Structure 1
Amino acid sequence: MIINTLKRFGITTGAAAAAASKASTILLVRNEIPKSVTIPTPIGLRLEIPVESVEKRDEFCCAEVKKFSGDNPDILDGLIIQSCVKFNGNEIEIEGGEGVGIVTRPGLKIGIGERAINPIVKEMIKNAIREVTDRGVKVIIQVPNGKEIAPKTMNEVVGVVEGISILGTTGIETPVSDEDYIEHISCELNSIKTSHKHVVLAPGNTAAKLASKIFDKNTVVKVGDRIGDSIRIASSLFQRIILAGLPAKLLKVYAGIFNTHNSFGDARIESLTHASLLSNVVDHETLIKIANSSSVEEAFSYMTKEQRRVVMKIVAERILSRIRKINDKVSFCVIIFDYDEEELCRVGCE
């Protein structure tokens, strides 16, 4: 049987913004119109990205790049990301314009009232521009259809309004939510089994990066939303399985949601409220704030580090209890990281 595991990867909105910024800067500095640009990424890879258009608009030079989502089902696939640049002092100044959402709630890595461009993306944009010029540049990132498409995304749920977020920790979009992705996971798990007795399952890029600092990176598998399916396959292959992730995904598993894609349900805030209530370390006022939060990040902003540790240990213990029912002959361990990348807790890892 031939298994189709050759899936197409995509680029994030952040990579598209960085590519558009480099293309517009090339027109500004060299008076050239590139058909594609190559940009650096935070993970060391370089991406060659097609450029849709480049033109001069008054004092600005502007370029457009089309977001490509590969085989990941994504409402933003094909969306145009635009960057306009002009010379400005000695530094690179990055602003969000029309179609880039505005942050309205705490908990994100962007201040309230600011345009939703992730700090890592801003560094990607700066690094891309610095490959063209050392001069100061003002950059305005815009998404022409951002306002129209935003209601179809999760942005408003986390407190971003009037547009989309410009995101991406790696620049690369992996097809982790695709139905066929589980075939890729199965192949990877079988490959790891040939030389290792344990495996680490990580839902996302950041979790995989943090887990690789603790365990051999060759034992870490990014499983995306398919946590339950991955555990079932891994439990038939390994004697020891470590589930390592950030709070939001694992709070869904706490509630018994083993496919964490939003189409299968969302109980993150309810789970965090429940665990906080059980902890006896969260006061009533903070509990109300947690229950009314729009995201786990916002809820965490109301909690002390110690409260987070106690509450997430309760979460990890219930997750451990749930996944042991999948295969009680396997040794399981659960590790939960905070959003500042510190480890909050681990259970079953002795």
Structure 2
Amino acid sequence: MDGTPETRLRRGWTTGACATAAVKAALFHLWGDGFPKTVSITLPKGETPQFPLAHTAGGDTWAEAGVEKDAGDDPDVTHGALIIARVENGSQGVRFHAGQGVGMVTKAGLPIAVGEAAINPVPRQMMENIVSECARRFGRTPAVEITISVPGGAELAKKTWNPRLGIEGGISILGTTGVVRPFSCAAWIASIHRGIDVARADGLSHVAGCTGATSERVVQEMMHLPDHAMLDMGDFAGGLLKYLAKHPIDRITIGGGIGKMTKLAQGARDLHSKRSQVDFGILSNWAVASGLPNVEDANTALEAVGRAGDALAEIVAERARAHVAQLLGDAAVQPSTVVIDRAGRVLATAGL
């Protein structure tokens, strides 16, 4: 992890890792050794974290264990959630079920089939490996019914992408490495990719990526787009457009405030304030070349537009559209842009 010992952020564990640890603890009880105080699992990259148990229960034919998710220093909405695994002897292989607070897949395009519990492939594989490991240890047949539950998961899911992706009733059990890395750009970009996959599978011809809630609301209302057409782009314009270039949809509208759209117009792919800045010299050159006032000493792009008028925002919208087209390359995608101010007023559009 980056940073000095004083500033290094603490990593955490995914819901998939927590569920796998809970399955192992429950199998220990069901198949003979009782519940351990802590349980260790091996993650896909070889790490072996220890998980304390926060919940245990059992009967003659079943057992369940729960692990409280620790997301480290990441602002994960599932931090502190109790991930419970209930195991029962089965008759054929390992089968997964969605308990309370775990979603069901209702739309195509996700890595799990419609009608299945929203437990992603890597967590499923991790749990299947644990079943095989425990079956060998206790001399059992590796045939188990696994139900994963997350009390309160339905409410947590409202703060995630799940409703837009067609995952209903709760959260997803996720993770490809088992590790939550604080403020992970990769995790956000992966969710953007899943949004594109779902939109394509549903046959949508127009999607939008916006930098924030206000621009998203404005663009959705302008274009009359359904919720699952709205890709939660945030600052990751490059991550969205790179994937869309390989997995095209007929139309893409990129919307945002004048500041971030100016950065996009000037060639930025990551629009976060720590990773890109407005070049006011370039912005002023655009203005002067079009007969508008010099705005090189402006403090913000919004101030620059306030001086030069909406004509400057129109220049930004067109140049941002041109950069989007460049990032899309030869993909058969028609780009457009919408630029707004802080109040949500549309300053300019291009390509509509």
User: Could you say which TM-score interval applies, normalised by the shorter chain?
Assistant: 0.5 to 0.7
Q: 1:4 to 1:309 in 2, by over 3 A?
A: farther
**Larger Rg: 1 or 2?**
2
> Does structure 2 conserve the Cα–Cα contact (< 8 Å) formed by 1:158 and 1:295?
no
Distance 1:150 1:294 in 2: 15
For 2:267, the equivalent position in structure 1 comes to 322
**2:157 pairs with 1:159:** no
Which residue of 1 is the match for residue 148 of structure 2? 141
Q: CA 1:311–1:247 in 2, change beyond 3 Å: closer, same or farther?
A: farther
Q: Residue in 2 aligned with 1:232?
A: none
Aligned partners of 2:30 and 2:61 also within 8 Å? no
Query: Aligned-pair distance for 1:148?
Result: 3.7
1:169 is aligned to 176
For 1:56 and 1:125, the matched residues in 2 are separated by 19
Q: 1:265, CA displacement in angstroms?
A: 6.4
d(CA) in 2 for partners of 1:344, 1:10: 40
Report matched runs for 1:146-295 at 5 Å. 146-176=153-183, 203-204=185-186, 257=211, 267=216, 291-292=225-226, 294=228
2:268 aligned partner, one-letter code? I
Deviations 1:274-333 (A, max 9, x none): 9xxxxxxxxxxxxx9xx4361579xx9xxx997619979x99xx96853188599xxxxx
Matched, 1:12 2:19: no
Residue of structure 2 aligned with 1:52, choices 51, 54, 57: 54
Identify if the C-alpha distance between structure 1 residues 137 and 73 changes in structure 2 by more than 3 Å, giving closer, same or farther: same
Per-residue CA deviation, residues 101-157 of structure 1 (Å, 9 max, x unaligned), is: 122233222222322111111111112222211421111111122234333433223
Aligned pair count reads 244
SS of the counterpart of 2:158? Answer: helix
| CA distance, structure 2, for counterparts of residue 92 and residue 146 of structure 1 | 23
Q: Which moved more, 1:89-98 or 1:73-82?
A: 89-98
8 Å Cα contact 1:43/1:170 also seen in 2: yes
Query: Aligned to 2:108, which of 106, 109, 121?
Result: 106
User: What residue is the counterpart of 1:196 in the other structure?
Assistant: none
2:93 to 67, 91, 94: 91
Counterpart position of 1:62: 64
**Structure 1 counterpart of 2:37:** 35
- SS of the aligned residue for 1:49 comes to strand
Question: Hey, what's the Cα distance between the residues in 1 that align with 2:124 and 2:162?
Answer: 19
Q: Of the candidates 308, 315, 327, which is equivalent to residue 248 of structure 2?
A: 308
The AA in structure 1 aligned to 2:186 is G
Query: Taking structure 1 as reference, are residues 311 and 83 closer, same or farther at Cα in structure 2, changes over 3 Å only?
Result: same
Alignment partners' CA distance in 2, 1:247 and 1:322? 25
Measure how far apart 1:268 and its partner are: 11
Aligned counterparts of 2:22 and 2:332: Cα–Cα separation in 1 = 38
Question: Of 127, 133, 152, which residue of structure 2 is paired with 1:125?
Answer: 127
Q: Secondary structure at the match of 1:32?
A: coil
Alignment-mate amino acid for residue 323 of structure 1: A
Q: What does the per-residue CA deviation read over 1:242-265, in whole Å, with 9 as the maximum and x for residues that have no partner?
A: xxx95869xxxx9674xxxx7x66
Q: Report the RMSD for the aligned CA atoms in angstroms.
A: 4.4
Change (3 A) 1:76 1:205: closer
- Structure-2 separation of matches of 1:206 and 1:74: 11
Distance 2:45 2:332 in 1: 25
Moved over 4 A (4+): 205-208, 245-249, 264-271, 304-307, 309-312, 318-321, 324-328
Deviations 1:1-20 (A, max 9, x none): x7732211111111111111
Paired AA for residue 60 in structure 1:
W
Amino acid at match of 1:113: G
Residue 67 of structure 1 and its aligned partner are, at CA, apart by 0.8
**Matches of 1:151 and 1:93 in 2, distance apart?**
27
TM-score of the two chains, using structure 2 as the length reference: 0.56
Change in Cα spacing, 1:92 to 1:307, as seen in structure 2 (3 Å) is closer
| Contact 1:40–1:127 (Cα < 8 Å) also in 2 | no
Do the aligned residues in 1 keep the contact of 2:61 with 2:89 (CA within 8 Å)?
no
Write the distance in 1 (CA, Å) between the matches of 2:188 and 2:163: 23
Q: Give the secondary structure class of the aligned counterpart of 1:122.
A: helix
Per the alignment, in what secondary structure is the counterpart of residue 149 of structure 1?
helix
Cα distance in structure 2, aligned partners of 1:309 and 1:151? 26
Aligned equivalents of 2:32, 2:327: Cα separation in 1: 50
Question: Quick check: 2:164–2:227 contact (8 Å CA) kept in 1?
Answer: no
* 1:322 counterpart SS class: coil
Instruction: Kindly provide the amino acid, as one letter, of the partner of residue 122 in structure 1.
Output: R
**1:93 positional shift:** 1.6
